[in-house]
Chain A
C-alpha cells in the first residue's frame, strides 16, 4: 500500500494550477457503473419477473398468461429432476466445503518451512477455469482413465463414474469440492489468525486432546466464518451448472437424469426456439430458493447466538 499522501504533497502536486474544465457532477462519476448494472443486471432482473407471467419466446414477444408457467412447472418431470439434483448438490457439497477447508487451513496454518508453497499449490484449482477443471476430471474419471487404472491396479476393478446417474452427480460434487477447497481455506486462514493462542493452551493444560480442542476451541472461535462459508457455498451449489454440464454432457447424463435447475434454464430459454417465458419462471424458482437458503443459514446462525 502506498504511503498516505500528505497535505504538503498535495500542494506540491500543484493542484491549484490545474484548470477547471471537466464537468464535476457527482452523477458523472457514478454514471458508467449505474448504467451498466441498470441495463444488464437490474433491468434483466425485473424483466425476468415480468416474463415469467408471459409465453414469450426468443422471436415472439408473447402475451400475459398469468400463472400458467408456474402451473406447468408443477407437472414438468424435468423441473422436479432439476430441483432434486440442485438440492442434492447443496446437501452433498456444503458440509464438505464447510469442514474440509477448515481442516486444510489448520494444516497450513503453522509457519513451517515451505508452507507458502503448499498454500499456493492448494489454491491452484481455484485459479483454473471450471471448464479446464471439468475436462481434467472427465479424463481422470474416464472408464479407461487414471483413477480407474489405479483402482484396477489395487484390485478394486473399474467403476463407471461417468455412466451411472448417481455416480455422475457424486463425481461432479467431488469436483466442486476439489475446486473450492483452496478458496475457503484462505477465508479460514484469516479467521484462524484471530484465534487467541491462550485458549488452546488453557485447553491443553486441562488435558483436552487435539480433537477436543478442535471442537471446543477452534470451532466456536471460527463459527461465524463457518456460517459465512456455509452461506456462500450453499448459494453457489444450488446454482451449479458447469461441472454437471461438462461431466454429464449438455443433455444432463443418462435420460437427462442429472440435469440441474440452471442447466434446465439454459436449455429451455436459449436458441431460436427458446421459451423465454417458461425459462423465466424456472429462474424465479432459482431466485426464491437462493434467497431462502441465505435466510435459512443466517437464521441458523442467529439461533445459535442466543443461549
Chain B
C-alpha cells in the first residue's frame, strides 16, 4: 500500500490562469482534484476524525480535570480549566496500577519472545524441512487456527488448573505463546524465499540450523516484526482469558485491573479515565512509531483469515 503523499506536480495551463499560483492538489493519477470536492473530502475526514479520536481526547480531558471542576456540565466543557495530574496519583493510591502495568509488560514481552521464536522455528519446519508427517503438522496448525478461542476457554481453564498454573502470569501467557496463525504467517514468508540459496548452502554442507539462522531468518525480518507487534498488542489488550485465569488482585494485568477499578469505583469518572489513559498510552505510542507494520499485519492476517 502506498502511503506516500504525491507532491503537487506541474500545473497544467488552464483557460483562465489564476492571479496567484495556487498549490494544486492532484490525485494518484496526476489529475487535479476539484476544489469543492476537496473541501467536501476534508469536511468528511474531519467529521470521522472527531468520531474516532474525539472519544480518546475526551477521556484524556476528563482525567485532567480536578475535583472541583464540573465534568457533567451541559453544554460540555471540552478542555480542563485547570489541568492537574491529581487523578493519576489517586489511581496509584487506589489500585497498584504500576504493578499491573508491569504485569502487562511481562505478559506482553514474554508473548513476543515465545511467538517470534516458536513460530519462526515451526514455520521453517513446515516450509523447508523434509520429513514424514509434515502435512499432518501443517494440518494441526490450520485446525488450531480455526478453533474459536472463546469456545475452549473453560477447557483451557481446567487444563491450567490441572497444571497448577491458574492464577499465575505463566498461565496467562501459555495458551497463546505460539499462535497458530503466526506459525502459518512465518511458513508463508519462508516459502516465498528463493530456494536456490538454501540449496547452495546445503551443498556447502550447512545443516538445517545454519540454513535457518544465517540465511532464512534474516530474510523474513519484516514478517517477524509483524508477528512481534501483534503478539505484543494481543497480550497487552487481552481481556477474557486473563479475567478467567487470574483471581488474585496482586497478579492482575492492566485490563483486568481497569475492569476491577470500574467495578469498584464506577462513580468516580475522573479516576477511571486516568486509568484508561495509562492503559492505552503505551500502545498508541507504539502504533505511532511502527504504523507500517501494524497495517502490514492487517493485510497478511486477513488473507489467512
Tell me the A residues contacting B by CB distance below 8 Å: 1-2, 4-7, 10-11, 13, 15-16, 18, 20, 22, 24-27, 29-30, 32-34, 36-45, 47-48, 51, 58, 104, 107-108, 110-116, 118-125, 127-132, 135-140, 142, 144-146, 148-150, 152-153, 178, 181-183, 186-187, 189-190, 193, 197, 228, 231-232, 235, 239, 241-242, 246, 250, 262, 265-266, 269-270, 274, 276, 279-280, 283-284, 286-287, 290
| Complex contact A127–B137 (CB within 8 A) | no
| Complex contact B137–A34 (CB within 8 A) | yes
**B92 interface contact, C-beta 8 A:** no
Using a Cβ cutoff of 8 Å, how many contacts connect chains A and B?
A: 329
- Across the interface, B156 reaches (CB within 8 A) one of A40, A107, A125, namely A40
Distance in Å from the Cβ of A194 to the closest Cβ of chain B? 11
Distance in Å from the Cβ of A226 to the closest Cβ of chain B? 12
Interface of B is mostly: helix
* Residue of chain B at shortest CB distance from A185: B298
- What 1/0 mask marks residues of chain B from 155 to 178 whose CB sits below 8 Å from any chain A CB? 111110100000000000011111
- Bound-complex Cα distance A193 to B3 (A): 12
- Bound-complex Cα distance A107 to B148 (A): 33
Distance in Å from the Cβ of A184 to the closest Cβ of chain B? 9
Closest 9 CB pairs of A and B: A33-B122, A44-B155, A29-B125, A129-B237, A269-B154, A26-B129, A30-B125, A149-B74, A40-B175
- Bound-complex Cα distance A42 to B144 (A): 6
- Bound-complex Cα distance A114 to B243 (A): 40
- What 1/0 mask marks residues of chain B from 33 to 77 whose CB sits below 8 Å from any chain A CB? 100001001101100110111011011001000000000111110
Tell me whether A111 and B197 are in contact in the complex, defined as CB-CB below 8 angstroms, given that A27-B131, A136-B59 are known contacts.
no
Distance in Å from the Cβ of A227 to the closest Cβ of chain B? 11
- Across the interface, B140 reaches (CB within 8 A) one of A20, A27, A34, A125, namely A34
Residue among A6, A7, A111, A250 having the largest count of chain B Cβ atoms under 10 Å:
A111
| Complex contact A239–B150 (CB within 8 A) | yes
> What is the interface residue range for chain B against chain A?
35 or more
| Complex contact A190–B72 (CB within 8 A) | no
| Complex contact A2–B161 (CB within 8 A) | no
| Complex contact A2–B218 (CB within 8 A) | yes
Interface of A is mostly: helix
Tell me whether A111 and B4 are in contact in the complex, defined as CB-CB below 8 angstroms, given that A48-B155, A132-B276, A146-B58 are known contacts.
yes
Tell me the B residues contacting A by CB distance below 8 Å: 1-6, 25, 27-29, 33, 38, 41-42, 44-45, 48-49, 51-53, 55-56, 58-59, 62, 72-76, 114, 117-119, 121-122, 124-126, 129-131, 133-134, 137, 140-141, 143-144, 147-159, 161, 174-178, 180, 183, 193-194, 196-197, 200-201, 204-210, 212, 214-215, 218-219, 221-222, 233, 236-240, 243-244, 254-255, 258-259, 262-263, 269, 272-273, 275-276, 279-280, 283-284, 286-288, 291, 294-295, 298-299, 302, 305
- Bound-complex Cα distance A262 to B143 (A): 21
* Residue of chain B at shortest CB distance from A277: B154
| Complex contact B178–A276 (CB within 8 A) | no
- Across the interface, A15 reaches (CB within 8 A) one of B29, B205, B258, namely B205
- Across the interface, A33 reaches (CB within 8 A) one of B25, B131, B141, B156, namely B141
| Complex contact A41–B180 (CB within 8 A) | yes
| Complex contact A42–B143 (CB within 8 A) | yes
* Residue of chain B at shortest CB distance from A269: B154
Residues of B within 8 A of A118 (CB): 45, 48-49
Distance in Å from the Cβ of A270 to the closest Cβ of chain B? 5
- Bound-complex Cα distance A26 to B129 (A): 6
Residues of B within 8 A of A178 (CB): 51-52
Residue among B3, B125, B180, B193 having the largest count of chain A Cβ atoms under 10 Å:
B125
| Complex contact B75–A150 (CB within 8 A) | yes
* Residue of chain A at shortest CB distance from B257: A131
